[in-house]
Amino acid sequence: MHILITGGAGFIGSNLALYHLKKGDKVHILDNLSTGRLSNLEECEKYNNFYFNEVDVLIDEELDKRVNWADRIYHLAAVVGVFRVLEKPISVLSTNIAGCERVLRAVLRSDWKAKVVIASTSEVYGNRKSNQLLSEDMELYISPGINSRWNYSISKLADEAYGLSYVREHDLDITLIRFFNVIGPNQTGKYGMVVPRFVQQAINNEELTVFGDGTQIRAFMDVRDTVIYLDDIGSNPATKGEVINVGSNYEITINNVAKHVKSLANSNSEIKYISYDDAYGEEFEEIYFRKPDLRKLKKFSSHQIKWSFDDTLRDLIRRAKEK
């Protein structure tokens, strides 16, 4: 099978590429390396059936040829990470929306219509006031005001609308994935991701910086389980035109994440609380509850999660200490 991954030098894309390479698939990654890293692809480069182009999907002159080669496309290219989203609000909209639409246009023009899996986000659910399960058929809303963090969810909602519209109007085989909190190897804390930031701080015995009061609830899942779900979804014809949550039902507060990391790393770090204004340099609206309804995911995949949260933390701590 020929697999094309846009934005594939990020941590999800690189783990997804390695998973497919181990299956014997041919994998082609496109990434402009704005947030992705070549070092993430070192294991992939050991395979003869791996190809990489440093190129921006917005201006790639050979995108049609690459899309026509693919049997399956994972569209992951996007501006991601809270720091980047706040810093580049216009790029978030232009890159995330126009990039997705350009890929879909290329698929429509192609002779061989690939299966397309488009990455969306749990942020489209907005700021819920209770810890309810977030299901794909819920009404979605964006909080009022000019807070630029919502540009990310707006852009992903637009991607979802594009994807579903191409299914309805052109009968393309497209599935939308709403990622919840994915963690694992190759993830960096540079752009605001909490777990790799805590891990690095803990092994250096630095203060673990918790933004806000730490009572935010998240459901984390290891990327090595995530990529199996993605393959199952991409392989199942019944997922055409579906929006599917991909995440874990294991929930934990950010306060307890910090305590777990500190304990497992045998760290002397203190936990320090930082206001959102100081952390992000502007007013910031936090999402306090984010837990997925996974009934639809289980309908399309029989995979059982193999990586517990603590096992993932142990692995990430070990990897960080070996660097």
Is residue 103 within 8 A of residue 63, CB to CB? The reply is yes
Helix (H) or strand (E) holding 290: strand 289-292
For 210, the enclosing helix (H) or strand (E) is strand 208-211
Phi, psi of 110 (to 5 degrees): -75, 155
For residues 235 and 176, the answer to whether their CB atoms sit within 8 Å is no
CA distance 5 to 100: 12
* Residue 152 annotated to the active site: yes
- Are 218 and 181 in contact by the 8 Å Cβ rule? The answer is yes
Task: List the structure tokens of 239.
Answer: 């997922």
- Residue 275's identity, in one-letter code, is S
**Spatial contact of 185 and 316, defined as CB atoms under 8 Å apart:** yes
Residue 240 has a CB neighbour count (10 Å cut-off) of 14
The residues pairing with 54 across neighbouring beta strands, listed in sequence order, are 31
Cβ within 8 Å of residue 254, ≥6 positions away: 194, 210, 211, 212, 214, 215, 216, 218
Q: How far apart are CA 151 and CA 141, in angstroms?
A: 12
Closest-CA residue to 14 (of 24, 35, 2, 1): 35
Would you report the helix, strand and coil content of the chain in percent, each value rounded to 5? Answer: 45, 20, 35
Partners of 219 in the beta sheet? 251
Which one of the listed residues 19, 74, 125, 152 is annotated catalytic? 152
Report the catalytic residues.
152
